[in-house]
A and B are shown apart, each in its own frame.
Chain A
């Protein structure tokens, strides 16, 4: 493995119990939770144990809820230098009551700041926003966006409308105002008021929805390009997490080809779609597809612009965790260094190490 170490761009820290966020929650919602439970969700079947690695539960506590345990089991084991926390709480955005959804997101963000970011300077945070409510999302970004360790606003792939559409643009303006990126993590497809899990409807089994995640990300990616988001906000960086990798190349081949024929319908899109991929989008490495042979793997990495766009994500402590030591077939050192460290260091403004080109 690389001697630069690892920047892990998808770490799911958790709260030990819903009551952990009570200090940050208005009385109304504390009482509501005590009476009826948290009433937020959005996830169906999963793998592992409750979606987590069997070995990631520290002495009966929630997986991901104990900083010291995480440092020992993950940071020390894999030489993780910095971690981007993505949390476990975006399902709060799926709550129908918009005031409650916003309160949950705020409480979780406050908890993350106090119990994680301010306890370990290697950590960076994602602002969980109640994204079905644009105004409330902007308000939350304004509220905590200036915290020096918050690096991005964070939503799930499951949405009511593709993320390039105009109604979302105030969120991107708020992100840019605070120097934040916008990260989309898979999850909640087909849940609550979101669009269906697949384009053909709701499947019966987890494996089907899981494998259909690229469909959802495809819709978001094309939406960003063709709604002209990167023309309007050329500085905006969008990060796509956990829908895999190697479908991206042929998808952008299709978009590039059709853009040549259909360009006049969206003439504000001045460049080939794949050029926006190379300037404004990043994607997480996990879950990396197991490619049948090394030659194909190398070709897919190159076709996906992995050298500059791929960010290592472990998904710790979730069951489909990818090990930075054993997930990748052998890679050229400079490429591996970029994926495991440099790409994320540049994107998130973390210290570059010796020998890295600016």
Chain B
């Protein structure tokens, strides 16, 4: 497993995937509100769509018809084709955890850069 430099933190906006190509693989890098980073393989295990081109959203639940609750705000990606919902942290499809796409560890180093920004690495 090797560590690949993919950019500085400011290059990764919150709320949308940043697509990168690392070691022959296409990944989507997600930065959450808390500055934690997550990486998903840009591939939907259902029919092969580029999963990370889908919208970043929340897990919508309901205690009863007509009422709505939003959980995991910004932590769910919906496939751009059929709308299957995946948890960005785990790569698992929310309604069926057996269906999942690969995830990768992302680390941020803050040495040698300004106090606000860090260097982002992904492990593949």
Contact = CB atoms under 8 A, between A and B. Distances in A.
Interface of A: 47-49, 53-55, 319-323, 325-327
Interface residues of B, number: 12
B81 interface: yes
B47 A48 contact: no
A319 B83 contact: yes
Residue from B46, B53, B55, B82 with most neighbouring chain A CB atoms (10 Å): B82
B118 interface: no
A335 B91 CA distance: 35
Contacts of B83: 47-48, 319
Interface string B86-99: 00000000000000
Contacts of A55: 49-50, 53, 80-81
B24 interface: no
Contacts of A49: 55
Contacts of A327: 47
SS class, residues of chain A in contact with chain B: loop
Top 9 A-B pairs, shortest CB-CB distance: A54-B80, A55-B53, A323-B47, A326-B47, A55-B80, A326-B48, A53-B81, A321-B81, A53-B80
A325 B54 CA distance: 20
Contacts of A323: 47-49
Contacts of B80: 48, 53-55
B47 A322 contact: yes
Interface in B39-63: 46-50, 53-55
Interface string B107-122: 0000000000000000
A305 B82 CA distance: 27
19 contacts: A47-B82, A48-B83, A49-B55, A54-B53, A54-B54, A55-B49, A55-B50, A55-B53, A55-B80, A319-B81, A319-B82, A319-B83, A320-B81, A320-B82, A321-B81, A321-B82, A323-B49, A325-B48, A326-B48
Interface in B7-63: 46-50, 53-55
Nearest to B49: A55
Contacts of B82: 47, 319-321
A48 B82 CA distance: 7
Contacts of B81: 48, 53-55, 319-321
Given A47-B82, A326-B46, 16 more contacts: A48-B80, A48-B81, A53-B81, A54-B53, A54-B55, A54-B81, A55-B81, A319-B81, A320-B81, A321-B81, A321-B82, A322-B47, A323-B48, A323-B49, A325-B48, A326-B47
A320 B46 CA distance: 12
Residue from B48, B50, B53, B80 with most neighbouring chain A CB atoms (10 Å): B80
A321 B82 CA distance: 8
A325 B53 CA distance: 19
A53 B49 CA distance: 10
A63 to B, nearest CB: 11
Nearest to A327: B47
B85 to A, nearest CB: 12
A318 to B, nearest CB: 9
Contacts of A322: 47
A319 B78 CA distance: 12
Contacts of A325: 48
A48 B83 CA distance: 6
B99 to A, nearest CB: 12
